Structure 1
Amino acid sequence: MSYDLAVWEGERPANDRTARRVFSDLYDRYLDGEDLESPSELITVYVTALLERWCDITEDEEGTSPWSVGPLIGSASGPLIYFGMGWSMAEEASAYAADLADKMGLICFDVQQDRLRP
């Protein structure tokens, strides 16, 4: 089981309910299918920054990566990334991921709690 976040490009939704709808629409368009688009430049930069903090799980020889799937960039398509992290590091990693998204002008949505972050 993992703790999941969605991060995307766009205007910040007015509230959590709208964010859920935007996420659902983006997921259906970009991730629900076999043919994924290449991640946008900004999402690629975001993923690169996450991987500067913690390595990709595919390269994790010491068991320190919080990511639950890899390669992490494989969870991205177009302007959206939907990724999970293990529960043992979810608090620290999700806080970092949400803060980084905010600094980069991206939207971060907590899928478990159905709310915008930070």
Structure 2
Amino acid sequence: MSYDLAVWEGAEPGDDVEAGTAYDQIYEEYMEGEQFDPTPRIRSYAEALADRWDAMTGGSTSSCGSLLNDASGPMIYLTMPYSVAGELSAEAARLAAEHGLVCYDPQSEHLRPGHQD
């Protein structure tokens, strides 16, 4: 079982409903079908997140492969083991805010703020 987050470039949605609509549109355009090269901001975010997760888990997330494999254009879709999702997702949301990106939990259909939940 895994926990997923979507992170993308764009204006901060006003609420969860607006975020869900934006998520659906961006996911359909960039994650289904043709893949696009990740944008520079998404690439920078993925690299920073991979380094941070590796440090947080003592290297155990390095077996997850490149986070950029799940990035296309202005979006990255993160999948993490449920057993460590609390800590890793909080860091993913914090780094997304630091990089000026939107972080959204598609399972619960909620925006993830960039502070510890």
Q: Contact 1:4 / 1:84 at 8 angstroms: preserved in 2?
A: yes
In structure 2, how many angstroms separate the alpha carbons of the residues matched to 1:63 and 1:2?
A: 18
Do residues 72 (structure 1) and 67 (structure 2) align? yes
Matched residue SS, 1:4? strand
Match of 1:93 in 2: 88
Structure 2 residue aligned with 1:81, among 72, 76, 81? 76
State the aligned residue count: 111
Match of 1:30 in 2: 30
Matched residue SS, 1:65? helix
In structure 2, how many angstroms separate the alpha carbons of the residues matched to 1:63 and 1:51?
A: 10
TM-score under structure 1 length normalisation? 0.87
Aligned AA (1:13): P
Match of 2:41 in 1: 42
Identity %: 45
Q: Give the gaps of 5 or more residues in structure 2.
A: none
Match of 1:115 in 2: 110
How big is the alpha-carbon RMSD for the aligned residues of Structure 1 and Structure 2?
A: 1.9
Give the C-alpha shift of residue 90 in structure 1: 0.1
In structure 1, how many angstroms separate the alpha carbons of the residues matched to 2:109 and 2:37?
A: 26
Q: Contact 1:66 / 1:89 at 8 angstroms: preserved in 2?
A: no
Q: Give the gaps of 5 or more residues in structure 1.
A: 56-61
Which of the two has greater helix per residue?
Answer: 2
In structure 2, how many angstroms separate the alpha carbons of the residues matched to 1:100 and 1:63?
A: 19
Do residues 105 (structure 1) and 104 (structure 2) align? no
Aligned AA (2:17): R
